[in-house]
């Protein structure tokens, strides 16, 4: 029995939270990159602006290869103040630090749109899951902006600098600009979207999907906040209109539309030919994988982007190593020893996990082919300006500190207000950064009884000396440099709040334990899932099926007796991951149609009601 679920019934990222630092044992940081002191390329304070001016002056000196005594937010300040019109790659060890730095850069930079994240995949190497689509699209959008030219600040961690990406020629094949009046065959556009990894669905409900209805193609382009309707008249584009993502109604006309790839891999003719040749060679060299090769080719020839297809990327398209691709940009590496240790840890872990897989589950693409080498990252580090955070001697020597001393203890704002007042007496520009205007108003009311008068500021780089400014924005922590007369303090540091990044990190952690499926990267072949109507089934991947003259992507679920349900790939909210109470117990599939699922839910409901009644009786006895 085969059932295709229509729109009437239809309406995680396994990201590993890095709660502890990566192992540093593989790299002797002290030997490889000693703490910068005079004689190691670090810079003493010079010039009228004090230490920060010294850093700025050193940025123009090719011989000065080290900055020491800088908190991460101060690094962002320097890049924004000195290099706003330049092209940068800034490397850190992990994703949390990259996120903090990107937020600080966007806060300080006069053109925050040029600050681009280049995130790594969110899961562990070779875990069987695909990368979260938003991360893939962020990488492709950053590479496209780099190709175009102009100012850019790329923020990347060690893993993302080694994880191979499509080369420029491949990405160019997946990029096009269309405009009203242009001649374009609708069917050619539909095929092109499929080749670029867009999901074909009844409606364009998520980023990276499209839908076809007669002379209308709705597409939600990669990296764009809302879908776009392309109206055709024969072979001419008659109009482009952005759509409200909730109602689907047109909002505004567009003069042009940039379409970027939705995925890094392609599965068109040239990609399949390349894959076939590489698979034959890999099977011969590794003396294994005949059934694996056949299974992979069958799915790709059916137009299916299966789980963890990214692990096969180098066999599908020519690739670049980002650390090599970014050569020629101005480079900053924050804590270089940590960056190299994180890279070494990644490559070691990838090799171990790849070798631990069964032969028929182990990709024929080896870790050496999937990732760049340590040498490629080392070359980037060696040519970069290296940055070390605050150390005991560097803090005294260079006069740039963090903001932890400004945290309010309990409800006593007085001591913190006194520290701020001392900064103002020394003609320091002090900016307190809050999330929104309401909090800015509340902060002013809190500070006024302590004799601190504030002014509102828009541009953080134009604060006035000796004045306390309130700036609306998103700054993770801030920094203080009395000698340079600059101080920025996040309200999250003042009052102990965790801020946006912490909330988003908690949301990602909670998503790991929530059952609803929101992205295909959360599923791998053979996983048990629950459909809201039909119950427990097996996830059998994505299948492209002809529907109404077009081919659409469907999630395939197997039920008891071999029956199959096909759900539009954009309707994942109908599914939940299934985790049995007893992890070792065999999972019994439901029958398609929902009757066994209804009975199962009824039994669970009855057991819960009985438990509730028993608890009420127990409490009643205790009261007596």
- DSSP string covering 442-499: HHHHHHGGGT--EEEES-GGGPPTT-EEEEES--SSEEEETTTTEEEEEHHHHH---H
Q: Over range 95-101, report the average pLDDT.
A: 95
Q: Over range 376-386, report the average pLDDT.
A: 94
Last residue of a domain, one of 430, 465, 500: 500
Same domain, 541 and 484: no
Last residue of a domain, one of 387, 409, 432: 387
Q: Could you tell me the CATH number of the domain that includes residue 589? A: 2.40.10.170
pLDDT band at 7 (very low <50, low <70, confident <90, very high): very low
State how beta strands 152-157 and 468-472 pair. unpaired
Residue 611 in any domain: the answer is no
Same domain, 90 and 64: yes
Residue 107 in any domain: the answer is yes
Same domain, 523 and 592: yes
Rounded Cα distance between 38 and 67, Å, is 11
Residue 621 in any domain: the answer is no
Same domain, 463 and 548: no
pLDDT digits (tens, 9 = 90+) for 529-557: 888 878 888 888 888 777 767 778 888 88
Same domain, 474 and 536: no
Q: Could you tell me the CATH number of the domain that includes residue 122? A: 3.40.50.11180
Instruction: State the pLDDT at residue 346.
Output: 97
Instruction: State the pLDDT at residue 43.
Output: 41
Closest CA to 164 of 365, 380, 378: 365
Q: Could you tell me the CATH number of the domain that includes residue 457? A: 3.40.50.11140
- 489 φ, ψ to 5°? -130, 125
Same domain, 56 and 132: yes
Rounded Cα distance between 192 and 175, Å, is 10
Q: Over range 82-104, report the average pLDDT.
A: 94
Mean pLDDT of the chain: 82
Q: Over range 434-438, report the average pLDDT.
A: 92
Residue 572 in any domain: the answer is yes
Residue 412 in any domain: the answer is yes
**Six-digit token string for 24:** 């540093």
The residues, ordered by sequence, that sit 6+ positions from 26 with a Cβ below 8 Å of its Cβ are 341, 344, 345, 348
Rounded Cα distance between 312 and 306, Å, is 10
Rounded Cα distance between 368 and 575, Å, is 36
Instruction: State the pLDDT at residue 463.
Output: 94
Last residue of a domain, one of 330, 362, 387: 387
Domain of 582 in residue numbering reads as: 514-604
Query: Residue 273 pLDDT more than 80?
Result: yes
Query: Residue 22 pLDDT more than 50?
Result: no
Residue 555 in any domain: the answer is yes
Instruction: State the pLDDT at residue 28.
Output: 36
Rounded Cα distance between 473 and 458, Å, is 9
Instruction: State the pLDDT at residue 35.
Output: 36
Q: Are 543 and 566 spatial neighbours (Cβ–Cβ below 8 Å)? A: yes
Q: Provide the angle, in degrees to the nearest 10, between the axes of the packed helices 72-82 and 51-59.
A: 60
Residue 417 in any domain: the answer is yes
Q: Are 45 and 477 spatial neighbours (Cβ–Cβ below 8 Å)? A: no
Same domain, 181 and 165: no
Rounded Cα distance between 100 and 452, Å, is 29
Instruction: State the pLDDT at residue 605.
Output: 63
Same domain, 162 and 33: yes
Q: Are 104 and 155 spatial neighbours (Cβ–Cβ below 8 Å)? A: no
Instruction: State the pLDDT at residue 335.
Output: 93
Same domain, 438 and 374: no
Residue indicated by tokens 């990405």 = 171
Q: Over range 393-414, report the average pLDDT.
A: 73
pLDDT digits (tens, 9 = 90+) for 283-296: 999 999 999 999 99
Q: Over range 143-160, report the average pLDDT.
A: 96
Closest CA to 162 of 18, 352, 363, 345: 345
Q: Are 93 and 338 spatial neighbours (Cβ–Cβ below 8 Å)? A: yes
Rounded Cα distance between 356 and 126, Å, is 10
Same domain, 227 and 328: no
pLDDT digits (tens, 9 = 90+) for 47-65: 445 666 666 555 555 445 6
Q: Over range 113-133, report the average pLDDT.
A: 91
Same domain, 230 and 164: no
User: Considering the chain, what percentage of its residues have pLDDT values greater than 70?
Assistant: 79
Inter-CA distances, 516 with 10, 177, 578, Å = 14, 36, 9
**Six-digit token string for 55:** 């850093």
Q: Over range 151-163, report the average pLDDT.
A: 97
SS3 326: coil
Q: Over range 4-18, report the average pLDDT.
A: 38
Q: How many separate domains does the chain show?
A: 4
Residue indicated by tokens 């990566």 = 22
pLDDT digits (tens, 9 = 90+) for 186-222: 999 999 999 999 988 888 988 999 999 999 999 999 8
SS3 509: helix
Instruction: State the pLDDT at residue 600.
Output: 65
Query: Residue 184 pLDDT more than 50?
Result: yes
Q: Over range 341-368, report the average pLDDT.
A: 95
Q: Over range 579-590, report the average pLDDT.
A: 68
pLDDT band at 480 (very low <50, low <70, confident <90, very high): very high
Q: When comparing pLDDT for 410 and 228, which is higher? A: 228
Residue 298 in any domain: the answer is no
Q: Could you tell me the CATH number of the domain that includes residue 217? A: 3.30.2060.10
Q: Over range 173-184, report the average pLDDT.
A: 96
Same domain, 364 and 321: yes
Instruction: State the pLDDT at residue 580.
Output: 64
Longest dimension (CA), the chain: 84
Ramachandran sector of residue 328 (left: φ over 0; alpha: ψ -120 to 50; beta: rest): left
Most confidently modeled range among 20-29, 343-352, 353-362: 343-352
* H/E run at residue 219: strand 216-220
Instruction: State the pLDDT at residue 47.
Output: 44
- 355 φ, ψ to 5°? -70, -25
Inter-CA distances, 274 with 172, 306, 387, Å = 18, 18, 42
């Amino acid at each position: 029995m085969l059932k295709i679920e229509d729109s009437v019934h239809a309406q995680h990222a396994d990201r590993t939270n890095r709660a502890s630092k990566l192992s540093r044992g593989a790299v002797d940081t002290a030997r490889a990159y000693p703490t910068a002191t005079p004689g190691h390329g670090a810079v003493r304070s010079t010039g009228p602006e004090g230490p920060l001016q010294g850093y700025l002056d050193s940025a123009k000196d090719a011989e000065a290869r080290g900055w020491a005594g800088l908190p991460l937010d101060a690094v962002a300040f320097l890049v924004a103040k000195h290099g706003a019109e330049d092209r940068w790659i800034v490397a850190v060890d992990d994703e949390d630090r990259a996120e903090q730095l990107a937020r600080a850069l966007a806060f300080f930079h006069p053109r925050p749109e040029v600050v681009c994240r280049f995130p790594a995949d969110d899961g562990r190497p070779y875990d069987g899951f695909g990368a979260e689509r938003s991360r893939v699209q962020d990488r492709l959008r950053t590479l496209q902006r780099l190709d175009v030219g102009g100012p850019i600040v790329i923020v990347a961690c060690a893993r993302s600098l080694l994880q191979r990406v499509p080369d420029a020629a491949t990405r160019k094949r997946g990029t096009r600009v269309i405009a009203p009046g242009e001649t374009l065959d609708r069917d050619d556009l539909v095929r092109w979207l499929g080749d670029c990894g867009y999901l074909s669905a009844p409606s364009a409900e998520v980023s990276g999907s499209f839908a076809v209805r007669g002379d209308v193609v709705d597409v939600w382009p990669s990296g764009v906040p809302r879908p776009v309707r392309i109206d055709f008249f024969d072979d001419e584009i008659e109009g482009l209109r952005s759509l409200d993502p909730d109602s689907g109604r047109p909002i505004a006309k567009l003069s042009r539309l940039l379409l970027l790839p939705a995925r890094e891999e392609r599965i068109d003719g040239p990609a399949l030919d390349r894959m076939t040749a590489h698979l034959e060679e890999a099977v011969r060299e590794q003396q294994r994988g005949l059934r694996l090769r056949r299974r992979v080719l069958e799915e790709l020839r059916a137009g299916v982007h299966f789980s963890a297809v990214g692990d096969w990327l180098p066999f599908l398209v020519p690739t670049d190593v980002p650390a090599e691709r970014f050569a020629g940009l101005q480079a900053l590496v924050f804590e270089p020893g940590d960056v190299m240790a994180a890279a070494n840890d990644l490559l070691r872990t990838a090799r171990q996990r790849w070798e631990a897989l069964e032969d028929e589950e182990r990709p024929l693409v080896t870790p050496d082919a999937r990732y760049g080498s340590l040498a490629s990252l080392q070359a980037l580090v060696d040519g970069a300006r290296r940055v070390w955070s605050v150390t005991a001697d560097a803090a005294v020597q260079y006069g740039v500190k963090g903001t932890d001393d400004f945290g309010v203890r309990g409800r006593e704002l007085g001591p913190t207000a006194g520290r701020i007042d001392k900064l103002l007496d020394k003609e320091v520009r002090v900016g307190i950064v809050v999330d929104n205007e309401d909090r800015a108003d509340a902060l002013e009311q809190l500070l006024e009884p302590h004799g601190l008068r504030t002014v509102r500021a828009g541009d953080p780089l134009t604060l006035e000396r000796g004045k306390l400014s309130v700036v609306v924005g998103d700054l993770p922590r801030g920094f203080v440099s009395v000698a340079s007369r600059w101080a920025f303090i996040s309200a999250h540091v003042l009052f102990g709040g965790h801020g946006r990044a912490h909330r988003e990190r908690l949301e990602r952690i909670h998503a790991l334990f929530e059952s609803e499926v929101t992205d295909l990267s959360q599923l791998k072949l053979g996983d048990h899932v629950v459909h809201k109507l039909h119950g427990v089934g097996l996830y059998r991947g994505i299948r492209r099926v002809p529907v109404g003259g077009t081919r659409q992507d469907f999630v395939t679920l197997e039920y008891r007796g071999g029956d199959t349900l096909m759900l539009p790939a954009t309707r994942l909210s109908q599914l939940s991951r299934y985790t049995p109470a007893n992890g070792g117990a065999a999972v019994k599939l439901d029958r398609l149609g929902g009757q066994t699922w209804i009975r199962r839910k009824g039994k669970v409901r009855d057991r819960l009601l009985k438990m509730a009644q028993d608890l009420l009786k127990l409490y009643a006895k205790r009261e007596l």
